Structure 1
Amino acid sequence: MVSEIRGWTFLTNHARALLAIAQDPTASLRQVAASCRITERTAQAIVADLEAAGYLHRRRVGRCNQYTLHLDRPCRHPADAGLPVRALLELFTDRPAGTAPPAG
């Protein structure tokens, strides 16, 4: 039996964008959008939301942005408020959150 997709996912676009930035803190909005399969405009709004909520800081480096994540901030849902966002990122990446990807 083939299951039917009903329009919901386990991760929000905000979580996906945070994961994309955690994997590459120098990613362009175009790259974040492509990784999340959303529009650049949506990616821009999500990054602004994440910055306003204190989950990341955006700094201009030349013509590009560089992001610093604040991984000890709590998850936003009341049921998850005791968990830092670091736990979510570590769950979905292959390395501890906040560490550089392997060289190569």
Structure 2
Amino acid sequence: MPVGKLTFEDVAMTVNVPEGTRIIEISEKIGAGITYGCRAGECGTCLTHVVDGAENLSDPSALELRVLKENLAGRQDRLACQCQILGGAVTVRPG
């Protein structure tokens, strides 16, 4: 199974994660500062800025795109409860 590296800038921590892992799952485990409400992609509280490695994340779903638009998110912002690591290296910080 492919493995990726996920770095959280706010806590200066990098972890190896299996392909398909959602960012919010690791954020919870290590105590990073990404907050969340619903975990279903509808509230937008887990807005996360992708500093580097956006190409190593899953494509946003129609639901995620709608919520990002409603929250006036930037081009490098994603919902941590929705996007998955596909491999490679990804660096994020709370949005």
Larger relative contact order, structure 1 or 2 (CA cutoff 8 Å, min sep 6): 2
Higher strand share: 2
Q: Does the pair score TM above 0.5?
A: no
TM-score computed with the length of structure 2 as normaliser? 0.34
The structure whose Rg is larger is 1
TM-score computed with the length of structure 1 as normaliser? 0.32
Higher helix share: 1
